[in-house]
A and B are shown apart, each in its own frame.
Chain A
Amino acid sequence: MYGWIWRKLPGGTAARLLQMALLAALVLALLWFVAFPWAALHLPVDQAGIG
């Protein structure tokens, strides 16, 4: 999967490394700021309400 992405990216090694880093940052930001906050509200973790 990662090898396939690497081969699809244009440019030399340095350009590809930069693009991989940007892709990783994008995915991590989506997880941290969108997916995880949503999941935290929908998982039965540490429930404190009563009744």
Chain B
Amino acid sequence: MRSFPRQLQLVGEILVSCGLVVLLFMAYMYWGTAERTASAQRGFARELQGEWASPQTGLVALADPGTVAIGRPFALIRIPRFGRNWQFAIVQGTGLPQLALGPGHVPGTALPGQLGNFAVAGHRVTAGNPFWSLPSLRRGDLVDVLTGAGTYIYRIVGRPVLVSPADSAMLAPVPGQPGAAPHRRLITLITCDPAWTGTSRVIATGVLVRAQPRAAAGGGR
């Protein structure tokens, strides 16, 4: 009779411990991933600023989308609607290991300023919540993309829309019309909806309104 309560106590201790581990994991998903992303982003920002300070390298590197290695940063994105200090480095690739570093460029889609569709996916929660406010974007909001070649300013064309996670046609050079030849320079921002899930995606589309080559920008920034 002595061993039965002791076994129960063991089960209880294990269950309580598991509960605490789950709580700790939730804390990690919120604060831990944010700190890891922030740390990677600090390195990326330094790296890009240094790279862009030496003239001409960016232009060559950006000529061919295939030259940006998966997980490597190549552009900075700023969205004033998300806050004056809101800035992330965009890395190549949209797998979970890349999105843990920051918003990711969908490989195979256009690069900043190119004809077609520059598609960028980012976490809505975790990893510093880069695209938390994406559903609040409205027509006319600006999206600045800085690369070694220059600054590209896109203007959001309408309210963000919900799409299926399988809707790869939204990534086509002409969104929704795979195979059609592009005549506009678009940006598509993608995140999950509802937050925390993989149920749907919410996307915001913008069109390029201005491109400033780096030389004309005075060499700085």
Q: Which residues of A contact B (CB under 8 A)?
A: 1-2, 28, 31-32, 36-37, 39-42, 44-51
Q: Which residues of B contact A (CB under 8 A)?
A: 10, 13-14, 17, 21, 24-25, 28-29, 32-33, 36, 94-97, 99-100, 106, 119, 121-126, 131, 163, 165-168, 170-171, 190-192, 195-198, 201
Task: Tell me if B97 and A41 are in contact (CB < 8 A).
Answer: yes
Q: List 19 A-B contacts (CB under 8 A).
A: A1-B14, A36-B24, A36-B28, A37-B32, A40-B29, A41-B97, A45-B29, A45-B198, A46-B126, A46-B195, A47-B192, A48-B123, A49-B94, A49-B99, A49-B106, A49-B121, A50-B106, A50-B119, A50-B168
Task: Tell me if A50 and B171 are in contact (CB < 8 A).
Answer: yes
Task: Tell me if A40 and B131 are in contact (CB < 8 A).
Answer: no
Task: Tell me if A36 and B32 are in contact (CB < 8 A).
Answer: yes
Minimal beta-carbon separation of A49 from chain B (angstroms): 4
Once bound together, how far apart are the Cα atoms of A36 and B35, in whole Å? 13
Task: Tell me if A48 and B33 are in contact (CB < 8 A).
Answer: no
CB neighbours (8 Å) of A1 from chain B are 10, 13-14, 17
Task: Tell me if B126 and A49 are in contact (CB < 8 A).
Answer: no
**Chain A residue with Cβ nearest B122:** A48
Task: Tell me if B198 and A47 are in contact (CB < 8 A).
Answer: yes
Once bound together, how far apart are the Cα atoms of A48 and B171, in whole Å? 13
**Chain A residue with Cβ nearest B13:** A1
Task: Tell me if A32 and B126 are in contact (CB < 8 A).
Answer: no
Once bound together, how far apart are the Cα atoms of A50 and B32, in whole Å? 25
